[in-house]
Structure 1
Amino acid sequence: PSDILHVIDPIVRGEAKVVYGSRYLANATQDGSVIHRLGNWLLTQLSNFFSGQKLTDMETCYKAFHKSVLDRLMIEQPRFGFEPEITAKVSRLGIRIREVPVGYSPRSWHEGKKIGWRDLCNTVWCIIRYRFY
């Protein structure tokens, strides 16, 4: 939670309209699982390909938006479809997403890390769908 100030700071200073906190910038963290790290990297690369962004961490929970951007977005997806949907829709508005480093303590399955194969497939579908819709 303390990283949220770093995420909103570029918006407050007028330097960005959208900011994502990246767990991978400046070695901010290492995810607990190689599978999760690889999956996140692949999803981020696929999103970058379709969105034209150059993100290192699309699936981050730290995201901040200027109100003028939020007023132009209609979000449909629950769960893990939210990240690719909002990334694609922001990109279609021609807005460059800025990233800042954030810390991260990975959760275990028992602590709440409940992402599975169905979520992965839905995320890929959303990356492609919202690029064109």
Structure 2
Amino acid sequence: MIVEDADSELDPDDILRMLELIEREPVDIIFGKRVLKEKVNTVTRLGKFTTTLLLKVLYGRSIADPLCAYKLCKLNKFKTLHIKAERFGLEIEWVVKALRKKWSFREFEVAYFPRDKKEGKKINMKDGLDIILQVIRLRFEP
């Protein structure tokens, strides 16, 4: 199971390499880690830092880029997560639930070509706050 954003910020060729990796390595999930090809704005960096720090504090595990859309796991594993979130919350719920289940993971560098608002970037400060609140809420969910 992999989610592909239709915004052209990530390279679809990386999906094939991730599929090859999950077949070779005994891990439950592969997390994409965006390699910045261009400068990313301060708000984006701050959001990534805050989310990464919260995951470390609340779940005891660190992921370099929890907001990267590319995550890959086998469908039977994914179905055990019972994802409910929509929009940008889907990625973070997937991460949190995998961490709570103590899944083994590997991070995989993917090419990243960020867009700005003029080019159609949709995520905003409200989405960022929703993501942070979701990380906290999921920590206390049974």
What TM bracket, shorter-length normalisation? 0.7 to 0.9
Say which SS state the counterpart of residue 21 (structure 1) adopts: strand
Are 1:2 and 2:13 matched, yes or no? Answer: yes
Q: 2:28 aligns to what?
A: 17
| Among 45, 48, 58, the residue aligned to 1:37 | 45
> How far 1:105 moved relative to its partner?
0.3
Displacement over 4 Å in runs of 4+: none
Give yes or no for contact 2:93–2:135 (8 Å, CA) kept in 1: yes
Asked if the contact 1:19/1:65 (under 8 Å) is kept, the reply is yes
CA deviations 1:50-96 (Å, max 9, x no partner) are 22222110000111012231121111111111122111111111113
* Greater strand content: 2
Match of 1:85 in 2: 93
Structure 1 CA distance for aligned equivalents of residues 92 and 33 of structure 2: 15
Q: Is the counterpart of residue 98 in structure 1 residue 106 in structure 2?
A: yes
Q: Does 1:65 align with 2:73?
A: yes
Question: What TM-score comes out, normalization by structure 1 length?
Answer: 0.87
Task: Please tell me the residue identity of whatever aligns with 2:20.
Answer: D
Q: Is the 8 A contact 2:32 2:71 kept in 1?
A: yes
User: Over aligned residue pairs, what C-alpha RMSD do you find?
Assistant: 1.6
Structure 1 unaligned spans of 5+? none
1:7-36 Cα shifts (integer Å, max 9, x gaps): 22231114211001101xxxx215531221
The separation in 2 between residues aligned to 1:55 and 1:118, in whole angstroms, is: 22
Tell me the TM-score normalized by structure 2. 0.82
The one-letter amino acid of 1:102's match is: V
Q: Distance in 1 between the 2:29 and 2:39 partners? A: 24
Contact 1:47 1:84 in 2 (8 A): no
**Aligned partners of 2:87, 2:56: CA distance in 1, in Å?**
20
Identity %: 33
